[in-house]
Amino acid sequence: MANIENQKFIALDISGKNYLSWVLDVKLHLSAKKLRHTIDEDNAVSNEERATALIFIRHHIDDDLKYEYLTVENPLELWQNLNDRFEHLKVVVLPNTLNDWLHLRFQDFKIVSEYNSTLFKIVS
């Protein structure tokens, strides 16, 4: 439970349902730590930077994913493996989101806060 308190954002779920927001969060945090280049192709990364980025990424994925990718020692390789595993979600999520947006009607909600909540979910 103490592990959750140290996380900067929600860890990547093994189902990948939060993959799209997780990718954005990881990229932003790695950029802030000046480690974004560790997940880019053709990079010259020191061992210290590689280790720091790998620790950060592994700290923000589900425990089952950690065990699955236990032998991966390069943040770029881990990033690509996770991308290969969950990238297809963009193909699934976008059409569903567009459909939800097209069928969003204010009159379908009893209170404004429910409408706002649904609207923000679609937008995000």
Beta carbons of 50 and 37 less than 8 angstroms apart = no
Q: pLDDT tens, 20-66?
A: 888 889 999 999 999 998 998 877 888 899 999 999 999 999 999 89
Most distant pair of Cα atoms in the chain: their distance: 57
Read off the pTM: 0.69
Specify the DSSP class assigned to residue 57: H
Which amino acid appears at position 115 of this protein? Y
